[in-house]
Structure 1
């Protein structure tokens, strides 16, 4: 008998898993990676909200806290809802169409460069060294970050949750000083986020290259 309503989240994730990933299994984008991504983002945005509030940027703090609250719902019962929303967006808009694989490869290259910069930043041993590093390198790090976001906007070019996420982050980086705030707080959470994003982008670019979309 036919049933109404969406398929179970477990079946949806299995479907997306088969679409998005290729062997070896150790490289697959798992539920654990998803939760880690959401958890790191939530922690970072809460810290950004508190930092902005401490210096009197109440509007900026509220924006960051709003993002954190949405992520917090994703950590609870809303997690599967978010997975369903973004999964359906991917299936509907991207899974059966060509994707700009060169943009994905370019994003991976940019992320590697950003990770190298953040690793150098974490090796600074004092607040004075970190401040000096940011003064020397911030514009380059900002340039690479905006390049990544610009490429991702070209990849996720259809209206939907995936593009909305990239647009929100892009606006906060360009207009809200999000990258500066993250560097001021330290880069460990940011490094973790970039690493996961890089892994996912690499998997997607490899998948579409193998399909002949490159």
Structure 2
């Protein structure tokens, strides 16, 4: 029986060991990362919200807008199934390669501001939930939409400052930003109700607080 060639084994082994050491020494601390349960909840809420937005847009005849929302929902649905591992690896490697050891004081200032924006949006959405009737909610959106949109734009700007390198994380932020700013995704979300949107913002805020507090900063004033 012919012997199996092992000429490439030492090289493959060295590459594997170097990659493992890179991940172990430079990967973010557990407190810096999105837990699996948080990820599942975030993806589930976003999938539910974008699916409802797609249906809402279709019901009023906005077929192109409905298709855009459906595409996002389909991508999120893959993220709930077998696509989870691929996305997790891609996002994780993007973080390790571009951000894990590059956090600066400027990054933490942007992070602080992003958490503050998320906190203000949560406060406004909490106020909206106090409106009892459809007419009251519609009137609230009419009065406050530009303010909510302005804070959302500010939040995306801070996130893009944080994730400034090309990669999975920046692509996700850019995709949602475009749909919010140009496609009125935010207005549709407010029309549908605030439960899913508040859940998404709360996870984003909690993750930001994890980063900020483990850097030695005091987040209690956020």
TM-score normalized by structure 1? 0.86
Query: Which one has the largest radius of gyration?
Result: 2
**Which of 178, 185, 204 is equivalent to 1:178?**
185
Out of 94-103 and 157-166, give the one that drifted further.
94-103
Distance in 2 (CA, whole Å) between partners of 1:45 and 1:186 is: 12
Task: Report the number of matched residues.
Answer: 199
2:39 corresponds in structure 1 to 34
**Which of 198, 202, 205 is equivalent to 1:195?**
202
2:66 corresponds in structure 1 to 61
C-alpha deviation, 1:3, in angstroms: 8.1
What RMSD in Å do the two structures reach over aligned CA positions? 2.2
Q: Which runs of 5+ in 1 are unaligned?
A: 7-11, 23-27
Distance in 2 (CA, whole Å) between partners of 1:5 and 1:46 is: 41
For residues 68-114 of structure 1, give each alpha carbon's deviation from its aligned partner in whole angstroms, at most 9, with x where no partner exists. 00110110011111110000000000001124110000010111110
For residues 27-64 of structure 1, give each alpha carbon's deviation from its aligned partner in whole angstroms, at most 9, with x where no partner exists. x7321000000000000000011111111111111111
Distance in 2 (CA, whole Å) between partners of 1:193 and 1:44 is: 10
TM-score normalized by structure 2? 0.83
1:47 corresponds in structure 2 to 52
SS, match of residue 29 in structure 2: helix
Change (3 A) 1:208 1:81: same
Structure 1: 4+ residue segments shifted above 4 A: 3-6
Change (3 A) 1:4 1:191: same
8 Å contact kept, 1:44–1:190: yes
Distance in 1 (CA, whole Å) between partners of 2:61 and 2:14 is: 53
